[in-house]
Structure 1
Amino acid sequence: MKKIIIPVLAVLSLSACSNTERGATIGAAGGAVIGGAATGNLRGAAVGAAVGGVSGALIGNVADRPGQCYYRDRYGNRYIDRC
């Protein structure tokens, strides 16, 4: 029974999140798994979770604005415009 309850609670908790929060959560979880598997230690999992969380949040943030993409100008400044 516990094997069913925990995933159901995880899915329900994500359903109340915005796309940015959902992307950060999924990115952090995926990054932790990949980082831990690639390095075999906790430090690699932590770095993977950090990188995955940031990239997932950026992707989720753009998902809130359909038809919009992130771009960088020649000075490195980030802006959002139509894709």
Structure 2
Amino acid sequence: MRISKFILAVATCAGLAACGDSFGEQALLGGGAGALGAAVLSADPFVGAAVGAAGNVLYCKTQNNCR
């Protein structure tokens, strides 16, 4: 069971790397991935969504390969 949680966490992190076309899409994709990851890991999904949204927007703004 612990391995499957780790695999889901890694998959969620990979989902954070998916950039959207606009700021809203980036925040939505990151927030969804963060909330899902937090739920899988039995953490607060609201905190996970906030961290995921901020992380994805920051990642997309600093990487040149996102469109």
Superposition TM-score, scaled by structure 1 size? 0.45
The RMSD of aligned alpha carbons is 2.3
Larger Rg computed on CA atoms: 1
Percent sequence identity over aligned pairs: 26
Equivalent pairs, count: 46
Work out whether 1:39 is the aligned partner of 2:42. yes
Question: Unmatched 5+ residue regions in structure 1?
Answer: 1-14, 68-83
Which contiguous aligned blocks of 4+ residues in structure 1 show a shift greater than 6 angstroms? Answer: none
Task: Compare the two structures and name the one with the higher strand fraction.
Answer: 1
Superposition TM-score, scaled by structure 2 size? 0.54
Looking at both structures, which has the greater relative contact order when contacts are Cα pairs under 8 Å and sequence separation is at least 6?
Answer: 2
The 1-side partners of 2:55 and 2:46 are apart by 14
The 2-side partners of 1:59 and 1:52 are apart by 10
The 8 Å contact of residues 32 and 49 in structure 1, kept in 2 or not, is answered as: yes
